[in-house]
């Protein structure tokens, strides 16, 4: 059964370890690739075009923006960042799953344009644990920690827009849970129903 890939979107407040989960998930699953963003910021030493980013001029980025070529975009410190829709589409058509780690704002833009994505929100086990993880950086004042915690708690309210909530207590459990979600989604009727109908009614 040759099937189109799945776009997996992962969000979660800072202090949940989502980047570690994403890295581990990619390492363990050969059929999953990280999405590559486009950006207007200057290329840095050691970075590769098409690997770290697709580097675009502001003019090209703005043009592509008008053509609705991005699944989402944002401006950060005067530079644009965006997820190129054709890159994602090509990978999915080739049967690869694409993973995108992004903030809730970006995720909601994607959901609007690509509702068939699988939206996963990572949460810490508890408020205490979240506080402990933010504190453990040890580089911030009490006010900064408090501000960070509140901003994380605000972000968590957005989980209602996602499909799944994965608690990160142990990295390997969280990774295995995302693997189970991917496995289940592949055989959802929405994704595989037509294949089976045509198999048995031809």
Tell me the per-residue interface mask from 172 to 201 with a second copy, x by CB under 8 A, - otherwise.
Answer: -----x-xxx-xxx-xxx--xx--xx-xxx
Q: Using the rule CB under 8 A, is 126 a contact of a second copy? A: yes
Per CB under 8 A, the segment of 33-41, 42-50, 70-78, 150-158 that binds a second copy is 150-158
Question: Which residue in 188, 184, 9 sits closest to 99, CA to CA?
Answer: 9
- Looking at the Cβ atoms of 88 and 178, the one nearer to a second copy is 178
Q: How many Cα atoms are found within 13 Å in the side-chain-facing hemisphere of 110?
A: 28
Cβ atoms of 53 and 38 within 8 Å: the answer is: yes
CB of 31 to a second copy, least distance (A): 15
Tokens of 96: 């690869």
Q: Report the residue from 58, 95, 116, 127 that binds a second copy according to the rule CB under 8 A.
A: 127
Tokens of 34: 């990280």
Give per-residue burial for 63-81: e unless 16+ CB within 10 Å, then b: ebeeeebbbbbbeeeeebb
Q: Report the residue from 123, 133, 168, 175 that binds a second copy according to the rule CB under 8 A.
A: 123
The residues in 26-55 that bind a second copy, with binding defined as CB under 8 A, are none
Q: How many Cα atoms are found within 13 Å in the side-chain-facing hemisphere of 133?
A: 19
How many residues bind a second copy (CB under 8 A)? The answer is 34
- Looking at the Cβ atoms of 56 and 118, the one nearer to a second copy is 118
Query: 3-class DSSP state for residue 108?
Result: helix
Tokens of 123: 């949460």
Q: Which helix (H) or strand (E) is 81 found in, with range?
A: strand 79-84
Q: Report the residue from 83, 162, 168, 175 that binds a second copy according to the rule CB under 8 A.
A: 162
Q: Using the rule CB under 8 A, is 145 a contact of a second copy? A: no
Q: Which residues are near a second copy by CB under 8 A?
A: 1, 121, 123, 126-127, 130, 153, 156-157, 159-160, 162-167, 177, 179-181, 183-185, 187-189, 192-193, 196-197, 199-201
């Amino acid at each position: 059964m040759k099937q189109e890939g799945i776009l997996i979107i992962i969000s979660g407040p800072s202090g949940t370890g989502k980047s570690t989960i994403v890295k581990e998930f990619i390492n363990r699953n050969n059929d999953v690739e990280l999405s590559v963003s486009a950006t207007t910021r200057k290329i840095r030493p050691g970075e590769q075009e098409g690997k770290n980013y697709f580097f675009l001029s502001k003019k090209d980025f703005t043009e592509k923006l008008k053509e609705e070529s991005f699944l989402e975009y944002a401006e950060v410190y005067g530079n644009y960042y965006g997820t190129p829709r054709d890159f994602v589409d090509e990978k999915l058509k080739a049967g690869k799953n694409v993973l995108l780690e992004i903030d809730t704002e970006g995720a909601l833009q994607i959901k609007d344009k690509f509702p068939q994505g699988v939206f996963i929100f990572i949460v810490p086990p508890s408020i205490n644990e979240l506080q402990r993880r933010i504190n453990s950086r040890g580089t911030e004042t009490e006010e900064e920690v408090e501000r960070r915690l509140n901003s994380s708690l605000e972000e968590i309210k957005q989980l209602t827009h996602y499909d799944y909530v994965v608690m990160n207590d142990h990295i390997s459990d969280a990774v295995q849970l995302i693997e189970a979600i991917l496995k289940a989604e592949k055989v959802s009727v929405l994704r595989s129903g037509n294949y089976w109908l045509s198999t048995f009614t031809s």
